[in-house]
């Protein structure tokens, strides 16, 4: 009966996590980072490019995994790609993540790993970015698998494979390597009396072959991804160069306490309370329980996860550049650690068991509430702390309107079009049905002849003056705090208005 209940609970957790990640997956407007990722993917599919850019856009694995999904849907390039197809891969990664705690089942027990999976299944942060076509959820999946392998006996090549997949996903995998190494060093310091010179030598002799194979596999797999199967050898050099030449975008600097405030301190935004406080409380309790005399089985694993969680959060907090999605891998560590609050729970006093159970239920309930709002009403709302610089829903309406305008005027009468200004993503995604698009940093006299001119805030005044007699200005929205104006040539506008009057 207990086994049947456990299986039913796992099925419920997986079904809940999958529903929250796949339900109405295409509804939210495309984020700027999703649009740039889609463009890179399309170029590779169309064989126009595909080399790794060490200054921007992270590793090649996101696009490599998205291409077969798009092809299965009959999507072969930039024009016919869909949000649903592109986001499917990351949603799958988010679902697979829920199975990772099972690898600790024998060491930690059924209850801790089930709670860890449930906390990740309902986490608004992990759900939100499982529904987004960016690198983060693949990094979390491979990162958590690496964490599992680091807490077990070395398996020849497998740890190296997971690390290589992390590297092929995003260069920030190096932060995790540093955090895990620091956690291992701290754990070794705690157990220094047991780590004699003889034990070090014995351990090295026992595991050196597996470690060597892992390093070899990591190097080979990374090489294959970054060189696109050895077709672009420069990619191997650029994979290293990225740590010296990568350029971050301005405007994302946050204070040291940003991530701690995001999760540990409740705050109200848009009439909704956002917090991960119960999860943090469970994580602290799990670490505290390792100091109780309740046996050593699992104790070192929990402490390693705890130290890895702290070092991840610390390193990301020390970096000025901060976004919510960068916290996904650290938060997955915290969720697993929080699940460990149920480790050896049957040996705890009744009061402690009741308290931990109450906090766990509160964590699951409040996370579910926040998640439904985060992916529902507030999915593309700046009041949602996870919807970082979201695309306005007006952009979706713009695409529909442009299709209607094009059908009314005739496709040949709406091109070429111009986009004037910088930082215009995700606008190209919504213009992908057009063939002739020109991009200008500042207004040029020749745009006066064009049927459609899109302007960003810094160029709107200049374009408005240039086109005041020839075009009709229409205000639209692009991203939070970034208005967009569409200037429609008078003859096209007149035809549109006459069609609407009929």
Alpha-helical (H) ranges within 391-487 are 394-409, 427-430, 457-466
DSSP 101: G
Q: Which domain holds residue 45?
A: 2-375
Position 172 in a domain: yes
Position 487 in a domain: yes
Domain end, chosen from 318, 344, 375, is at: 375
Position 383 in a domain: no
Position 442 in a domain: yes
Report the relative pairing of strands 417-420 and 272-274 from DSSP bridges.
unpaired
C-alpha–C-alpha distance, residues 314 and 179, integer Å: 9
Position 483 in a domain: yes
Position 339 in a domain: yes
Helix then strand then coil, in percent of the chain rounded to 5, is: 65, 10, 30
Position 251 in a domain: yes
Tens digits of residue pLDDT in 364-386: 999 999 999 999 999 999 999 99
pLDDT mean by block of 10 residues, the chain; 502 residues: 91 97 95 94 78 81 94 91 96 98 94 97 97 97 96 85 95 95 92 71 74 89 89 87 82 91 92 95 96 79 96 96 96 98 91 96 97 95 93 89 86 85 93 91 90 94 92 91 92 85 47
Do 283 and 357 share a structural domain?
A: yes
Do 409 and 336 share a structural domain?
A: no
C-alpha–C-alpha distance, residues 432 and 85, integer Å: 16
Position 225 in a domain: yes
DSSP output for 51-68: ---TTSS--SHHHHHHHH
DSSP 321: B
State the pLDDT at residue 502: 46
Do 305 and 406 share a structural domain?
A: no
State the pLDDT at residue 316: 96
Find how far residue 13's CA is from the centre of its chain: 21
Number of H helices, E strands in the chain: 21, 7
Judge if the upstream peptide bond of residue 426 is cis by omega within 30 degrees of 0: yes
**Which residues, listed in sequence order, are joined to residue 484 by a DSSP beta bridge?**
476
Q: How many domains does the chain have?
A: 2
**What phi and psi, each to the nearest 5 degrees, are found at residue 247?**
-115, 120
Tens digits of residue pLDDT in 421-471: 988 999 999 999 898 999 999 998 889 999 999 999 999 999 999 999 999
Do 491 and 352 share a structural domain?
A: no
State the pLDDT at residue 156: 76
Identify which of 148, 144, 206 has the alpha carbon closest to the alpha carbon of residue 173.
144
DSSP output for 113-128: HHHHHHHHHH-HHHHH
Do 350 and 484 share a structural domain?
A: no
State the pLDDT at residue 200: 67
Residue 198, token pair as written in the block = 């003889």
Do 405 and 369 share a structural domain?
A: no
Do 368 and 435 share a structural domain?
A: no
Do 162 and 237 share a structural domain?
A: yes
Do 345 and 434 share a structural domain?
A: no
C-alpha–C-alpha distance, residues 146 and 214, integer Å: 12
State the pLDDT at residue 500: 65
State the pLDDT at residue 101: 97
Domain end, chosen from 375, 407, 435, is at: 375
Do 145 and 46 share a structural domain?
A: yes
Do 188 and 319 share a structural domain?
A: yes
pTM to 2 decimal places = 0.93
Angle at which helices 299-318 and 328-339 pack, to 10 degrees? 150
Residue 414 near residue 501, CB atoms below 8 Å: no
Do 440 and 345 share a structural domain?
A: no
Residue 115, token pair as written in the block = 């709670």
Instruction: Return left, alpha or beta for 250; rule: phi > 0 is left, psi -120 to 50 is alpha, else beta.
Output: beta
H or E segment to which residue 438 belongs = strand 437-440
Domain end, chosen from 309, 340, 375, is at: 375
């Amino acid at each position: 009966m207990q086994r049947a209940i456990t299986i039913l609970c796992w099925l419920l957790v997986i079904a809940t996590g999958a529903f929250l990640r796949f339900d109405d997956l295409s509804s939210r407007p495309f984020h700027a980072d999703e649009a740039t990722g889609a463009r890179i993917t399309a170029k590779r599919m169309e064989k126009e490019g595909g080399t790794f850019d060490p200054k921007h856009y992270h590793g090649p694995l996101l696009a490599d995994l998205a291409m077969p999904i798009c092809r299965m849907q009959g999507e072969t390039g930039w024009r016919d790609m869909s949000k649903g197809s592109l986001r499917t891969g990351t949603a799958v990664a988010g679902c697979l993540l829920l199975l990772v705690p099972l690898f600790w089942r024998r060491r930690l027990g059924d209850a801790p790993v089930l709670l860890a999976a449930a906390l990740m299944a309902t986490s608004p942060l992990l759900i939100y970015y499982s529904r987004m076509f960016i690198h983060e959820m693949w990094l979390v999946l491979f990162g958590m698998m690496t964490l599992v392998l680091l807490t077990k006996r070395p398996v020849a090549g497998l740890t190296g494979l997971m690390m290589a997949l992390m590297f092929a996903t995003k260069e920030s995998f190096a932060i995790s390597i540093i955090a895990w190494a620091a956690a291992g060093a701290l754990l070794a310091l705690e157990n220094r009396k047991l780590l004699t010179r003889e034990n070090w030598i014995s351990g090295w002799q026992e595991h050196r072959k597996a470690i060597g194979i892992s390093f070899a596999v990591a190097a080979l797999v990374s090489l294959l991804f970054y060189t696109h199967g050895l077709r672009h050898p420069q990619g191997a050099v650029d994979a290293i160069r990225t740590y010296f030449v990568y350029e971050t975008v301005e405007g994302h600097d946050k204070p040291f306490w940003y991530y701690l405030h995001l999760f540990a301190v409740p705050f109200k935004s848009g009439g909704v309370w956002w917090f991960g406080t119960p999860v943090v409380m469970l994580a602290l309790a799990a670490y505290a329980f390792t100091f109780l005399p309740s046996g050593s089985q699992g104790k070192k694993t929990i402490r390693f996860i705890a130290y890895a969680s702290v070092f991840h959060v610390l390193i990301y907090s020390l970096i000025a550049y901060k976004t919510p999605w960068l916290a996904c891998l650290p938060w997955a560590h915290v969720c697993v650690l929080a699940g460990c609050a149920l480790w050896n729970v049957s040996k705890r006093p009744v009061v402690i068991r009741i308290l931990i159970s109450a906090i766990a239920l509160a964590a699951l309930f409040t996370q579910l509430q926040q998640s439904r709002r985060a992916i529902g009403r507030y999915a593309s709302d700046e009041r949602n702390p996870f919807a970082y610089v979201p695309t306005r829903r007006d952009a979706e309406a713009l695409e529909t309107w442009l299709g209607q305008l094009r059908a009314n005027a005739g496709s040949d009468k709406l091109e070429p079009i111009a986009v004037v200004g910088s930082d215009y993503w995700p606008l190209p995604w919504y213009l992908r049905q057009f063939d002739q698009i020109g991009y200008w940093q500042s207004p040029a006299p020749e745009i006066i002849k064009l049927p459609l001119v899109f302007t960003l805030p810094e160029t709107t005044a200049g374009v408005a003056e240039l086109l005041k007699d020839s075009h009709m200005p229409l205000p639209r929205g692009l991203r939070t705090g970034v208005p967009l104006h569409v200037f429609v040539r008078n003859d096209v506008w007149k035809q549109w208005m006459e069609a609407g009057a009929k």
